[in-house]
């Protein structure tokens, strides 16, 4: 099928990753089906099924999720599980009933066992996810198992992609629901503007993570979608193969925001697994892709976007 004739429904097109996916898929000539949360409640199976029945897309990219940082996951775990389960079931079950031929479900690296420093796709059932993320992770695992079942039993080209921590200019600038890079950018921009002597950073700072810019993640999803018929597995990791400690990350962000004060690491706050790094062997055999945006460059762009959003001068 010619790329320009394919219709793709991007669920969650106004989110951090969804905005990048929408832009890139549009540039590559796909006809996009888009509905905002005001027009379509993804938690309603009836509404989603009716929409997909009418639009009949050739494929779905499910980026939509109820997300939050480690604090939100720790404070409201059942809400994380409930909202994500509703969204996933509505979209996945509707797409299954209509036998939509292509689908990419965007999962999360939170699904992996907390005790495993190098995470391979088949490690998911070998241990327990981080206690701070277990409810969110359990919902995501459920979605991945749905995808696996549909792929195996009905021979549809469905896969799950498991990205590491995604960040970018369209991040969630929210004090209670932001992820680590957005949270630190907000803290350091505010501290620099107010000339505060110190900034608190959650955790010891020793934990190590990978960080992937949303535009790079979208490029990988587009590549995976275009060659999805060649996928030999139901799930693929998506990481950078380069990790960094939270302490190094905080220093990098402080520097990018022009903050010169003291960083105070609070070990009493949750910080998740000590190490989380994704094995990319399977993905590297599936798609020809490497991230191109360096972490420091991406942080500078994200910090500038936040300043523009809030009208804060540098």
Torsion of CA 59, 62, 63, 67, to 10 degrees: 170
Rounded to an integer, what distance in angstroms lies between the CA atom of residue 17 and that of residue 168? 8
Cβ density class 226-256: b for 16+ within 10 Å, e for less: bebeebeebbbbbbbeebbbbbebbbbbbeb
Q: Catalytic: which of 30, 89, 96, 136? A: 136
Residues 6+ apart with CB under 8 A from 90: 42, 43, 44, 45, 47, 48, 49
DSSP secondary-structure letter at 5? G
Residue 136: active-site member: yes
Q: What is the DSSP string of 34-59?
A: ---TTT--TT-HHHHHHHHHHH--SE
What is the rounded distance in angstroms from the CA atom of residue 144 to the CA atom of residue 151?
11
* Half-sphere exposure (Cβ direction) of 196: Cα atoms closer than 13 Å: 15
Q: Of 127, 128, 124, whose CA–CA distance to 143 is shortest? A: 124
Specify the residue for token string 């590559």. 28
Residue (of 50, 14, 283) closest to 163 by Cα position: 283
Give catalytic residues, as residue numbers.
136
């Amino acid at each position: 099928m010619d790329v320009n004739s394919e219709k793709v429904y991007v669920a969650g097109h106004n989110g951090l990753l969804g905005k990048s996916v929408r832009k890139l898929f549009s540039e590559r000539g796909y006809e996009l089906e888009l509905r905002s949360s005001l027009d379509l409640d993804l938690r309603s199976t009836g509404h989603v099924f009716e929409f997909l029945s009418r639009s009949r897309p050739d494929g779905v990219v499910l980026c939509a999720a109820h997300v939050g940082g480690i604090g939100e996951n720790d404070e409201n775990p059942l809400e994380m599980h409930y909202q994500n389960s509703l969204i996933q079931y509505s979209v996945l079950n509707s797409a299954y009933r209509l036998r939509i031929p292509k689908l990419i479900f965007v999962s999360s690296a939170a699904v992996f066992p907390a005790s495993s420093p190098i995470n391979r796709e088949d490690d998911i059932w070998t241990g327990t996810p981080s206690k701070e993320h277990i409810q969110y992770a359990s919902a995501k695992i459920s979605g991945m198992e749905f995808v696996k079942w549909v792929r195996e039993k009905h021979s549809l080209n469905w896969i799950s992609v498991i990205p590491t921590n995604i960040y970018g200019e369209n991040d969630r600038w929210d004090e209670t629901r932001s992820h680590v890079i957005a949270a630190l950018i907000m803290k350091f921009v505010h501290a620099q503007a107010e000339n505060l002597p110190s900034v608190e950073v959650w955790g010891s700072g020793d934990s190590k993570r990978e960080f992937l810019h949303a535009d790079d993640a979208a490029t990988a999803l587009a590549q995976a979608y275009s060659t999805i018929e060649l996928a030999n597995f139901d799930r693929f990791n998506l990481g950078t193969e380069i990790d960094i400690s939270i302490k190094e990350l905080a220093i990098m962000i402080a520097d990018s925001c022009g903050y010169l004060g003291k960083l105070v690491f609070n070990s009493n706050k949750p910080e998740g697994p000590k190490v989380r790094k994704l094995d990319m062997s399977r993905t590297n055999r599936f798609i020809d892709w490497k991230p191109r945006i360096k972490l420091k460059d991406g942080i500078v762009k994200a910090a500038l976007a936040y300043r523009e959003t809030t009208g804060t001068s540098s």
